[in-house]
Amino acid sequence: MPSLTLSLVQTHLFWEDKKANLAMLETKIMGIAEKTELVILPEMFSTGFSMKPKLLAETMDGETISWMKKVAAAKKIILTGSVMIKEDGHFFNRLLWVLPNGTLGHYDKRHRFAFGGEHEEYTPGRKRLIASVKGWKINLLICYDLRFPVWARQQSNEVPEYDILLYVANWPERRNYAWKTLLAARAIENQCYVVGVNRVGNDGNGINHSGDSMVIDAVGATLYHNATGEDIHTIVLQKEPLEEIREKFPFWKDADGFNIIETDGE
């Protein structure tokens, strides 16, 4: 069974300064010494969690996506993280999944953080994105989505839909207990690896982010956790332990079947 090597980039961000963030992140990514296959950046990595998409959002052929394609090709990695995107007159908090050959997929954040005004500026996503890498299935989600277990839930009791839940975030330090608790809960209830990548430092609103990026296995054990400070951590995930857990404790087979139905009220 193939392994998968991930690099989590827990970093500060320059507030609403794309050029500074892209230059800083390129240096960090190109400096990763270990061989890696997937590099994960935080939510809104080019700007910070800003509510100014009218000023800062880009189209799908904009500067940041061009930069992601360039870096992914140069480093021969898959590169992922979320940015502000303008499309068809709407703004999205969009996670981009960029392959070394320039192919990309995307996921638009479903749950907008109304407490911070995100619902007033951004349009919600309508569908999930489960990416495939070397036989691994990865469910790609963003920050506040973590609080809503139905959206992340494995929707099949025949064969698990995915092997990894991945969250990119700008999650404040003042609620880091919820972040850490819910990451573990999502791993246990879905019997999968969970990867959470958060930023550090103060944003332009004076809100501090402690990081607390984590990798958790399918029984809720912590494989990696950095509580504070910048860090780039590379970890190899193995498929065999995951399959053993699912076989020995096949709780996923007893899950309730359900469908998520889109309504006019979103």
Cβ-contact 23, 14 below 8 angstroms: no
**pTM over the 0.85 mark:** yes
Q: Any idea which residue has 């590379």 for tokens?
A: 234
Of the residues 18, 58, 69, 109, only one is catalytic, namely 109
Inter-helix orientation angle 63-75/18-30, to 10°: 10
Enclosing domain of residue 122: 4-254
Residue 265 in any domain: the answer is no
The residues with which 137 forms a beta bridge, in sequence order, are 132
Q: At a CB cut-off of 8 Å and minimum separation 6, what does 181 contact?
A: none
Residue 93 in any domain: the answer is yes
User: 33: domain CATH number?
Assistant: 3.60.110.10
Average pLDDT, the chain: 95
Active site residue 109: yes
Question: What's the sign of the alpha-carbon dihedral 112, 193, 140, 151?
Answer: negative
Residue 260 in any domain: the answer is no
Tell me the pLDDT tens digit for each residue of 172-184: 999 999 999 999 9
Residue type for position 176 = N
Of the residues 37, 43, 58, 118, only one is catalytic, namely 43
Residue 263 in any domain: the answer is no
pLDDT at 264: 54
Active site residue 192: no
pLDDT at 163: 98
Tell me the pLDDT tens digit for each residue of 59-117: 999 999 999 999 999 999 999 999 999 999 999 999 999 999 999 999 999 999 999 99
Of the residues 143, 173, 180, 192, only one is catalytic, namely 143
Residue 66 in any domain: the answer is yes
Residue 50 in any domain: the answer is yes
Tell me the pLDDT tens digit for each residue of 245-258: 999 998 888 888 88
Active site residue 26: no
Number of structural domains (the chain) is 1
pLDDT at 261: 77
Residue 174 in any domain: the answer is yes
